[in-house]
Amino acid sequence: MATSSKSLQELYPKRVDIVILITLSVWLLLIGLTLPVMTVRKLWNSNTYSILTGVQNLWQEKLYVLAVIIFTFSIIFPIAKLVSLFAVWFIKLTEERRRKLISLMEVFGKWSMLDVFVSAILIVWVKLGALASAKAEIGIYFFGASVLLTMIVSSLQGALVKRFK
């Protein structure tokens, strides 16, 4: 096994698609975290939440466990995965370290859509109540698009790493 350290960008300098997809995913994530993801209506009261305000409201309502879960899976994991994708692409790593990082991303990638799934369940659950309704807002689509692009980039990088063996 070669021990030389090169970045994937050095190994595949013509693959500008990876950089474009990572950059687009970062922007979609930032937009998705700040735009409204859900509006909940109860009788005459209506509240619209972004992921960030949702976590803040859960914390203020003393729903600490749920706030930490949503914060972890909706904010920390996506940011960590984007940082890892950036590192795998631009930072000089040994083949072994790069493979380990890709493997770790694949493990965490399985949890990437958890928050979108939780939002969907919450919307369905609220719709089942007679006195309340919930509506998905534009932010959930930006967030979901970011997660999907991140999964695509992770898959592309994984294929490049396996091809480099």
Q: In this model, does residue 127 exceed pLDDT 70?
A: no
Q: In this model, does residue 121 exceed pLDDT 70?
A: no
- List, for residues 76-102, the tens digit of each pLDDT value: 888 988 999 999 999 998 888 888 888
**Cα–Cα dist 38/123, whole Å:** 8
Q: Give the pLDDT mean for 113-120.
A: 65
pLDDT at residue 164, as a whole number: 62
Q: What are phi and psi of 79, to 5 degrees?
A: -65, -45
H helix runs in 40-129, sequence order: 51-60, 64-71, 77-90, 95-109, 114-128
pTM check: above 0.85: no
Domains along the sequence of the chain with CATH: 14-160 (1.20.140)
